[in-house]
Structure 1
Amino acid sequence: MAHGGNVIEELTADHREVDALFEKIEGLPTADGKRRELADRLTMELVRHSVAEEEYLYPAVRRYVDGGDDLADKELDDHAEVERMLKELESCRPVDDRFDTLLGRLRTSVTSHVEDEENRLFPLLADACPATALDELGERIRSAKKAAPPLPHPSAPDNPPANKILAPGASMVDHLRDLLTGRGRPG
């Protein structure tokens, strides 16, 4: 699925990319060094996606959807759980048994979150939000993903305004670390 379009199309494209990354990791032998590289890429994609949703999608859900506060809070709780698992996965070597266990738990959690968004949250937002606002949110989501930190910050605030104030600093530190270590470069 190609990127572009409104917020729902953009985030759905992200979901398919994440599914494909899980498939690639799980399809490689345990000792294959590419598993670590793909797990790092998965982490970066999930973090960027989460930051963009937290910055733009969930505030829109709160604004337009009846019961949006509860829906957004549930999605933020899902993100916090995923970020904790990503941070733990970051410290695992692919040959460790814990790596596959965490990867399985992560996939289950992400799949459940994606199904909830695509089957419940997205249709509610599409019904309640003007098409022009959905298109504008798509643009904002794409911009936010470009500026988002590439690594999880489980203790960082999830809610505005603190998330918007602190995210650029965390992103700058992550980008510097990435430049120094080579993490996140296409393989």
Structure 2
Amino acid sequence: MGHGGDVTAELTTDHREVEELFGKIEALPPGDGQRKKYADQAVIELVRHSVAEEAYLYPAVREFLSDGDTIADKEIEDHAEAERTMKALEGVDAGDAEFDRLIGELMAEIRSHVRDEEDNLFPRLRSAATEDQLVGLGEKVRQAKKTAPTRPHPSAPDKPPANKLPAPGTGMVDRSRDALSGRGKG
């Protein structure tokens, strides 16, 4: 799937990639070690995606939509819930029954969040912002994902401007840990 274009196209591509990983997890039997590999890849993508949304999408939602503060606050709370689930999932092996419970919970949380964004938030944002603004946001989101953390950090700030400060440094540490451990590699 190609990345690029406006912010809604970029984030929708992310959604499809994570859904593809969820499908791979669901296609494997409980206890299969590949499920953990796909779950790690999904978490990496979800964390990067969330950090970028919190840094750029939700501030734009606050700016462009009359009820943007309420919407952004709800979306950030959805992210916090998913991040707590991802953090719990981090320390659980695929053979553990807790893995099945947590991955099921994460998939339900993310699928609900994606439906809400794609059915409600993205159309409203496309109506309220110009094409140039949406394309500019898409570029900012792509750049943010390059330096974003790859592991859940539930205690990190999730609202601007504080949320933009730790991301590059934390992201560098996370990517180093991933490289050493092989986490997220196909």
TM bin, normalised by shorter chain, reads over 0.9
Name the counterpart of 1:108.
108
Q: Where does structure 1 differ by over 4 angstroms across 4 or more consecutive aligned residues? A: none
Give the alignment of 1:112-127 within 5 angstroms.
112-127=112-127
User: Residue 31 of structure 2 contacts residue 96 of structure 2 at CA under 8 Å; is this kept in 1?
Assistant: no
For the aligned residue pairs, the C-alpha RMSD in angstroms reads: 1.1
Q: Tell me the percent identity.
A: 59
SS of residue matched to 2:95? coil
1:57-113 CA-partner distances (Å, limit 9, x unpaired):
001101111110110000000000000000101111111111111111111111111
Equivalent in the alignment of 2:37: 37
- SS of aligned partner of 1:61: helix
Q: CA deviation at 1:147?
A: 1.0
**Secondary structure at 2:166's aligned position in 1?**
helix
| Structure-2 residue corresponding to 1:130 | 130
Q: Distance in 2 between matches of 1:179 and 1:26?
A: 26
Paired AA for residue 61 in structure 1? V
Determine if the alignment matches structure 1 residue 148 to structure 2 residue 148: yes
Aligned to 2:57: 57
Equivalenced residue count is: 186
TM norm structure 1:
0.96
- Matched letter for residue 64 of structure 1: F
Asked whether the equivalents of residues 18 and 42 of structure 2 are also in contact (C-alpha less than 8 Å), the reply is yes
